[in-house]
Amino acid sequence: MSESGGRPSAALRRALLPLALAQFICSFAGSNMNVMINDISHDLDTTVQGVQVAITLFLLVMAALMIPGGKLTDRWGRRRCFTAGLILYGIGAILSAVSPGLGVLILGNSIFEGVGTALLIPPVYILTTLLFTDITSRARAFGAISGLGGIGAAAGPLIGGLITSAISWRAAFVFQALVVALIVVLSRRVPDPLPPDPTRPFDVLGAVLSSVGLVLFVMGILALDNNGWLALGLMAGGIGVLAGFYAAIRRAERTGREPLLSTQLFRNRTSNLGLVTQNVQWLMLMGVSFVVSAYLQVVRGYNAIQTGVIFTATTVGLLATSLAAERMAKRWPQRSLITVGFVVTIAGILLLLLMVVGTPSVWAFTPGLLLIGLGLGAMLTPSVNVVQSSFPDQQQGEISGLSRSISNLGSSFGTAIAGTILVAGITTTPERAYGLAILVVAIAGLIGLGAALMLPRAVAPATAPATSEA
C-alpha cells in the first residue's frame, strides 16, 4: 500500500472510506435528533428537556470514554476496537428505534451508541495517521475525515428531518444501523500496522476518575434551570474528581506506572491551543444546531423536514470549504485558516441574533447559518492536524483519545449550556431565551478565536509529528 507523489494507493483509498463514513455517522447521530424534538417528546410522552438530556448524555458518554477508548486501542488493537465499537453502536441504534419510552432511548442512544462511538472513533484517527505516511496524502485523508464529520453534524438535521417526515423518527435510527452494517463490511480489509499488545497496562482508576469527573460537571450544567445548588454541587464535585484524576496520573508517572494519559500531552503549547479551538468549534456547531432546531419547532411550530431544510445553508457552506480544505492548506498557514474560520463563524452567529429576533421570515436564518458552515468547514481540518501532528506515532492512541474527548466535550457543552438557557425560558420568554442562548455561543467563539490567535505563526506541517513544543 505504497504512496507515490502524495497520492495514496487504491488500497489506502479503500481503507479511508469506512474510516470517514464512521466519523460521518457518529457526527450525524449527534445532531439529527435535534429536528425530532417534537416528534420524540410526543411519541414517548416526555418533554423538550427530556430529549435534550438524551442528546447531551450521548455526547457526554462519548467525551467521558473517548480517552479510555483511545488507550484500549494499544491493548486490543485498533481494528478490533473499531469493529467492537461499530457492533455496540449498531445495537444501540436498533434499541433506540424500538424504544417504548425515554429510558430505553437513553439506554440505546446515549449509552450503547455513546460507548460504541468512544471505541470506534480513536482508531479512525490513529489508523489514518499510521496508514498515510506521506505528508500530502495524510493531509488529504484528515481533510476527508474531518470534512465528513462536519458535514454529518451539519446535514444531520436535514437528513433526520427528511426521514422523520417521510417515515418516522425511529427510521432515522434504522438508517444509522444500516450505515454501520455497511461500514463493518467495508472495514474488513482495513489493516492495522501495529500489532496489539495484550500486556499493555490499563489505568482503571484513571479511566473511572476522568469519566466520573466529566459526567458530574456536565450534569451540573443540565441541572442549572431546576436546582441551582444541586447544579453547583455537581459541577464542584466534577472539578474535584478531575483534580483527583490529574493527581492520580502524576502519581502513576512518579512511581513508574503507565497512566491513562501522559502529562506530557499537556505540556505542548501548540497542541493545547489546538484542543481549545477544537472544543469551541464543536460547542458552536452543536449549540447553534440545538438552539435553532428547538426554537423553530417549539416556538414557530415547524415540523422536522421544515427545520432540516433550514439547516441546508450550514451544510452547503461546510461542504464548500471542506472540499477546498486541501487547496487552502497549500496557500495559507493553519493558524490563518483557523483564525479566519472563527471570525466568519462568529459573524454568522451574530447574524442569527440580529436578523432572527423579532423577524417572522424563515429566510432570516439563512445568512447566519451559511456563514457558520463556511467558517467551520475552513477550520475543522487544520485544528485536527495541529493536534494530531504534535506527537509521534507512539502517542497517537493517547492524543487521539484526548482530541476526540475534547471535541465531544465541546459538543456536550454546546447542547448543555446553550440548550439549558433556551429550555429555561422557551415557553415564557422565547425570544429572550433564544437571544441569550445564541449570545452565549458567540462569547464562546471569542474564546476560540483568542486561542487561534495565540497559535504559532508557523505551525509545523500538518502531518509531521513533533515531540517538542512549537
pLDDT < 70 stretches in the chain: 1-8, 135-136, 139, 393-394, 396-397, 458-470
What is the rounded end-to-end Cα distance, in angstroms, of the chain?
32
Non-local CB neighbours of 83 within 8 Å, separated by 6+ positions: 184, 187
The ranges assigned to domains in the chain are 10-188+260-454, 203-259
Q: What is the pTM of this model?
A: 0.81
pLDDT at residue 135, rounded to an integer: 62
Between the CA of residue 156 and those of 80, 209, 308, 380, what are the distances in Å?
A: 28, 32, 8, 17
Give residue 462's pLDDT: 39
**b/e per residue 23-52 (b: at least 16 CB within 10 A):** bbbbbbbbbbbbbbbbbbbebbebebbbbb
Q: Which pLDDT value is given to residue 273? A: 94
Asked if 351 and 368 count as a contact pair (C-beta separation under 8 A), the reply is yes
pLDDT at 347: 97
- 3-state SS string for the chain: CCEECCEECHHHHHHHHHHHHHHHHHHHHHHHHHHHHHHHHHHCCCCHHHHHHHHHHHHHHHHHHHHHHHHHHHHHCHHHHHHHHHHHHHHHHHHHHCCCCHHHHHHHHHHHHHHHHHHHHHHHHHHHHHHCCCHHHHHHHHHHHHHHHHHHHHHHHHHHHHHHHHCCHHHHHHHHHHHHHHHHHHHHHCCCCCCCCCCCCCCHHHHHHHHHHHHHHHHHHHCCCCCHHHHHHHHHHHHHHHHHHHHHHHHHHHCCCCCCCCHHHHCCHHHHHHHHHHHHHHHHHHHHHHHHHHHHHHHCCCCHHHHHHHCHHHHHHHHHHHHCHHHHHHHCCHHHHHHHHHHHHHHHHHHHHHHHCCCCCHHHHHHHHHHHHHHHHHHHHHHHHHHHCCCCHHHHHHHHHHHHHHHHHHHHHHHHHHHHHHHHHCCCCHHHHHHHHHHHHHHHHHHHHHHHHHCCCCCCCCCCCCCCCC
* Axis crossing angle, helix 135-166 with helix 312-323, rounded to the nearest 10: 160
* pLDDT for the residue 212: 92
pLDDT given for residue 458 in this prediction:
67
* pLDDT given for residue 182 in this prediction: 96
The predicted pLDDT at position 468 comes to: 29
Q: Which fold has domain 10-188+260-454?
A: Growth Hormone; Chain: A; (1.20.1250)
